[in-house]
Amino acid sequence: MFDFLQDYDLLGAFWTTVQLAVLSAVGSLIWGTVLAAMRVGPVPLMRGFGTAYVNIVRNIPLTVIILFTSLGLNQTLGVSLGANDVETINFRLAVLGLILYTSSFVCEALRSGINTVPVGQAEAARAIGLSFGQVLGNVVLPQAFRSSVVPLANVLIALIKNTTVAAAIGVAEAALLMKEMIENEAQLLLISAVIAFGFVVLTLPTGLILGWVGKKVAVKR
Amino acid sequence: MSSVLYDAPGPRAKRRNVLLTVVFLVALAALLWWVFGTLKDKGQLEWALWKPFFSGSEAWSTYIWPGLENTLKAAALAMVIALPLGAVLGIARLSDHVWVRVPAAIVVEFFRSIPVLVLMIFGLALFAEYTNVSSDDRPLYAVVTGLVLYNASVLAEIVRAGILALPKGQSEAAMAIGLRKGQVMRSILLPQAVTTMLPAIVSQLVVILKDTALGGAVLTFPELLASANTMSGYYGANVIASFTVVAVIYIALNFILTSFASWLERRLRRAKKSTGAVLKADDAGVAGSNATGTGGP
């Protein structure tokens, strides 16, 4: 029944999915943190930039962004991100698109974490004479990070699922393989079940584990 | 102004802020300069490439409006079908009977953990193989199927969270005056929960609207993004121009929806007609389960 699977690189496709997810997760965590820092910082211009970026990027479909990285950045403007063959270029473009898109959600998740810290915490910390660095490092950020775990986990799960959009520019990940398999083989339900199982394996444990961690570290108020 | 992160700025902090502003402004200007330079080098700022959108209505009437119509049609169909389905699933998950609760939970968790695109691809093949839907209609059916399956399960979680967010006293009092289970749900819990859920539901509409673009890119569904693609071919590869116009349309549509959602949220919070906490429009903050609003592409 599963014979036809031998003709396809199923594990390879899911490995590409995982690579897309991990690279984009790391990238969007960095860029998202920078954006969050801008959005909550004291400089009005940076705040404006952060807000504008998040509101614009969040409202564009990821599909449009990823397709644009291929058609616009690569084919029209000749950006190739230091790669030579088409496959690597498309992979890197997909990661770039995912980072640009996901970081706006990372920014919002971090900001929501910071917003859960009552102002009184910082005021009390200043009142007992802690310096700015101590207030941030010992009082505010530890609480903020703890309540960011669950929203960040949601963003990560959404990101894992969003990697399928890379199929739109021909990155050989799970959804593209599924499309190819369905076109060539007859076992529609079986193929879909296998691919669906793969994604359930990737997303459900992530959600459960990080949800548990989130509850464990949450600040009880 | 002071926030939890920093104090009201003193003279030194003010100087530092001004310095940071200047540095950031220079960096931003350099970035913009580079972008415009690249665009100009590649000839993408030629008026000929942008002209179709500003003079004459051909580009709009041939490509953009029909595409937008399909986008809105798919989103509206998906929402209209997913909403009742999601409500049923959400209420089923709160059922007292294990044989209702567990299957509903499995369905919701399963479809929530699978990418919409996979569901859409599956739907396309399903309609091709087992039904006689004409091949012109198949992409629309597939897009709507995928969106309904995914968003119904997300909406189910929103409904469940909305009902769970109501104070326990509501259902206890209702049962104390002798209402039956169905009556408690219909006349006490749901009316209150619906108002608190509205912002979250409206922002789920944004996710649905954005997800329709997948149909255009992968399933040959002739919606806004797909028609932008054909359009840029027709007007001599004005990729930058067409994508900019399409992105602006998406941003405008979604911005209207998000603003509506947060207006609704503010209004409901102020009105205090309901006893439950108003679910946030932003992240559809689902109690105790990994949620939603951050959703799809």
pLDDT band at B240 (very low <50, low <70, confident <90, very high): confident
Nearest Cα of chain B lies from the Cα of A176 at a distance, in angstroms, of 9
CA distances from A78 to A68, B42, B247 (A): 12, 9, 21
CA distance B60 to chain A (A): 19
pLDDT band for position B93 (cuts 50, 70, 90): very high
Highest mean pLDDT among A168-172, B9-13, B103-107: B103-107
B153 with B107: CB under 8 angstroms? yes
Name the residue among B71, B49, B113 with its Cα closest to residue B217: B71
pLDDT(B161) > 70: yes
**Which residues, in sequence order, are CB contacts of A194 under 8 Å at separation 6+?**
A5, A10
Contact B218 A168 (CB under 8 A): yes
Is the pLDDT score of B146 beyond 90?
yes
User: Containing domain of residue A130, as a range?
Assistant: 3-217
Q: Is the pLDDT of residue A5 over 80?
A: no
- Residues with Cβ within 8 Å of residue B186, at least 6 apart in sequence: none
CATH assignment at residue A12: 1.10.3720.10
Q: Which residues, numbered 114 to 133 in chain B, qualify as contacts with chain A under a Cβ-Cβ cut-off of 8 Å?
A: 114-118, 121-122, 125-126, 129
Question: What pLDDT was estimated at residue B283?
Answer: 43
Q: What is the model's pLDDT at position B294?
A: 43
**What is the b/e burial string over B244-271, where b = at least 16 CB atoms within 10 angstroms of the residue's CB?**
bbbbebbbebbeebbebbbebbeebeee
How high is the pLDDT of residue B284?
A: 41
Share of chain A above pLDDT 70, in %: 100
Cα gap B168→B160, rounded to integer Å: 14
Chain A CB contacts of B38 under 8 Å are 77
Query: Span A169-187, mean pLDDT?
Result: 88
Looking at residues A193-204, what average pLDDT do you find?
92
Say which range, A49-53, A90-94, A147-151, B285-289, has the weakest mean pLDDT: B285-289
What is residue B295's predicted lDDT score, i.e. its pLDDT?
44
Average pLDDT on B66-86 reads: 93
Predicted TM-score of the model (pTM): 0.88
Q: Give the residue with greater pLDDT, B63 vs A166.
A: A166
In chain B, residues 189-218 whose CB comes closer than 8 Å to chain A = 206, 209-214, 216-218
Q: What does the mean pLDDT of chain B come to? A: 85
Total count of domains within chain A: 1
Lowest mean pLDDT among A40-49, A188-197, B205-214, B273-282: B273-282
Quick one: pLDDT at residue B216? 87
Question: Is pLDDT at B171 greater than 80 in this prediction?
Answer: yes
Judge: domain B54-271, CATH 1.10.10.10.
Answer: no
Residue A61 and residue B297: Cβ atoms within 8 Å? yes
Token pair belonging to A151? 């929203």
> In chain B, which residue's Cα lies nearest the Cα of A161?
B115
Alpha-carbon span B11 to A163, nearest angstrom: 48
